Structure 1
Amino acid sequence: MRSMRSAVVAAVLASLVLAGCGGGDEKDGSDAKPESGEKATPQEPDTWPLTGLELADGKSADRKHPVLVAKIDNTSSSAPQVGLSKADLVVEELVEGGLTRLAVFFYSQLPKQVGPIRSMRASDIGIVSPVDGQMVTSGAAAQTIARLDQAGVKFHQEGSAGLARDSSRRAPYNVMADLAEVAKAAKVPSARPDDYLQWGTAAELPKGQPGTTITASFGSHTTNWAFEGGSYRNQNTYAADGDEFLADSVLVLKVKIGDAGYRDPAGNPVPETKLEGTGQAILFHKGRAIRATFEKDGLDGTILLSTKKGSIKVPAGKTWIELVPADRGEVTFN
């Protein structure tokens, strides 16, 4: 009898142990709450590729369109230029006759009226390729189109969706672009482009020297800047009142100029800016000028800046880049 009772007790104890070990009513660790002192690691805010500026928390810089680069005339015939205030970045480049044309970059905003739109150049390959930008243009010479096709640069020219002539303007300075419409025809997989420049903060820059006024001469055209109210203002802009591009930084690059191999309708040889290799640079920010050198590995490479003490970065914000000819241009400042 004592043996039988021992067996019964052992069986009861075993069943209790098994019941306690059963997991049917227990929750796994996935629902466990973090310890009271633990905090989730904050996610770094995304930044715009053409300015380096941060987006609001949780917002993404991915867009369902590429960077659109509008070629805008930069002579008195273009007045008034429209849409510059909505641009992220502007590059001023040499064209025939010592004049200049603007490559105006749009990504964070796509205004419904931009222009006047003019023709593109082979120089634009090195300007737009670092961010796989697509050109918005009135057209181009056959040689230029062949060069851009070979380089894989896509473009939207007159006759494409979003480009039309404005009857209130004089031809050929009357092609205007609705970038929202252009973007619909330029859809690409949603992906943030690479940064156009290496972005940083003003605190990281060397002290430099005074640089509140800038004169950048291309030949027949000179662009003048003055640091006013916290921004660099183009003193001889053709932009409409209130639609100017206010630059946080002006970056001057002394670049090599070649021959594009053909002449314009007036018989002027067409120059080609070689935006690659190395050269002198001056970065203007907050009324200061920092002399540097630039390096760009190939036409699709990123522009890198450095001094004798090491690399420097462009403070996040809106930047205007002057591609001044190394052999004939001149830059002065004080």
Structure 2
Amino acid sequence: MRRTRTRALASTIAATALVLSACGSSDDGAGGDEGNDPQATSAGSKLAATWPLTGLPVKGEDSAVQDHPVLVLKMDNTSSSAPQVGLGSADLVVEELVEGGMTRLAAFYYSRVPDDAGPVRSMRASDIGIVSPVDASMVTSGAAPITIKRINGAGIEFFGEGAKGFYRAGGRSAPYNLFARMDETATLTRGGERPADYLTWGDAADLPKGKPATSLAASFGGGHTTSWSFSDGRYTIDNGYAAAGDEFPADSVLVLRVEVGDAGYRDPAGNPVPETKLEGKGEAMLFHDGRVVRGTWSKDGLGAPIELATKQGELKVPAGHTWIELVPREAGNVTFAR
């Protein structure tokens, strides 16, 4: 059951402070009878041994009380967004198709919440399947009425312009000048338990060998292609818009081939708005450490987790920062090279 939520755009929300100070957790979670439990109680809150969006261990120097929702900021991903701010602090990013063949980013924040992030853009119905598995709260410029109705129906909490933390940045033109002070917006969220892991995390040593792949290109159907290069253990976007030094630190790139339908309305320019169907099943490609492993993905419903598999069994994503590409099954394409 999803918790009942209160909309920041409609009413005042009682602030709950987001604590980002160290909480004295143990790195290995061991100790007495709690040694077999992945969580240990500290300061009245449960701390898991790993972060839900990365699978990385929670260390004393960067631990946080895990009693707040995941925050997902909708970020523009066109040249007009440059420079994008806040991607370097994200735990996980999902890239999705929007109208006109362009893409938009869903930047997930949990282990770190940045001071500033943006440009902030609007939600899509596609986001229901993207954020629901971790019961995330969304930071957005708004949405079309039909989308807001569906977001409300899905029980997703969201904060838009006018809520605490939002501001218009000087030197940029609208609508690419809306930003959020995420540390301030985070105080609007209500408390909650640590969410389930977004992906099934594992050890890189257990990943199937796969094929060499030090570059890849994810095409979303002619309007946009995201190109990646692998070097020094990380994947870097060759044609991205992130501010220098604020790029997303991708350890893995996960490509999911997805069905794309019509959301049922058009944008102000008259373009039909697509809707990514992040449920069902399809082809998956996991890029890690300069190689690619092919498999399949499945998701039993919009709120269900993403499950990955190969012919040999479950496919686990190596713990780290992951960028997910939701590439259209029909119109999109994925290529890679040694």
Taking structure 1 as the reference length, what is the TM-score of the superposition? 0.86
Residues 208 and 293, structure 2, Cα contact 8 Å, conserved in 1: yes
Matched to 1:314, the amino acid is V
Partner-residue secondary structure (3-state), 1:333: strand
Aligned to 1:182: 185
Contact residue 91 and residue 323 of structure 1 kept, 8 A: yes
Partner residue in 1 for 2:214: 212
* One-letter amino acid matched to 1:99: M
Is the radius of gyration larger for structure 1 or structure 2? Answer: 1
2: CA distance, partners of 1:71 / 1:229: 29
State yes or no: 1:49 paired with 2:46.
no
Alignment partner of 1:120 is 2:130: no
User: Structure 2: where are the runs of 5+ without partners?
Assistant: 1-30, 39-47
Query: In structure 2, what is the equivalent of residue 68 of structure 1?
Result: 71
Aligned to 1:12: none
Whether the 8 Å contact between 1:204 and 1:312 is mirrored in structure 2 is: no
Residue 242 of structure 2 aligns to which amino acid in structure 1? Answer: A
Query: Which one of the candidate residues 260, 264, 272 is aligned to 2:263?
Result: 260
- Residue 238 of structure 1 aligns to a residue whose secondary structure is coil
Are residue 283 (structure 1) and residue 293 (structure 2) matched? no
SS in 2 for 1:144: helix
Residue by residue over 1:4-48, the C-alpha shift from the partner in whole angstroms, topping out at 9 and shown as x without a partner, is: xxxxxxxxxxxxxxxxxxxxxxxxxxxxxxxxxxx9578357100
Q: In the alignment, which residue of structure 2 is the partner of 1:7?
A: none
Say if 2:73 is the partner of 1:106: no
Amino acid at match of 2:220: F
Deviation of 1:164 after TM superposition, in Å, equals: 1.2
**Counterpart of 1:24?**
none
More helix by share: 1
Match of 2:198 in 1: 196
Q: Output aligned runs, 1:116-265, within 5 Å.
A: 116-189=119-192, 191-219=193-221, 220-265=223-268
Which amino acid in 1 is paired with 2:93? V
Whole-Å separation in 2 of the counterparts to 1:117 and 1:251: 24
Alpha-carbon distance change, 247 to 293 in structure 1, aligned in 2, over 3 angstroms: same
8 Å Cα contact 1:51-1:318 kept in structure 2: yes
C-alpha contact 2:67 2:194 (8 A) present in aligned 1: no
Structure 1 residue aligned with 2:42:
none
2:323 — aligned with what? 320
Aligned to 1:206, what secondary structure does the other structure show? coil
TM normalised by structure 2 equals: 0.85
* CA distance in structure 1 between the aligned counterparts of 2:237 and 2:58, rounded to whole angstroms: 27
- CA RMSD in angstroms comes to 1.6
Whether the 8 Å contact between 2:134 and 2:198 is mirrored in structure 1 is yes
Shift of 1:60: 6.1
2:68–2:194 CA contact under 8 A, matched in 1: no
The C-alpha deviation readout for 1:261-294, integer Å capped at 9, x for no partner, is 0000000000000000000000000001000000
SS in 1 for 2:146: helix
After superposition, give the CA deviation of every residue in 1:124-164 in whole Å (9 maximum; x if it has no partner): 00000000011100010000000000011110001111111
Change (3 A) 1:117 1:59: closer
Give the aligned partner of residue 311 of structure 1.
Answer: 314
Specify every segment of 5 or more residues in structure 1 that has no aligned partner in the other structure, as ranges.
1-38
Change (3 A) 1:128 1:169: same
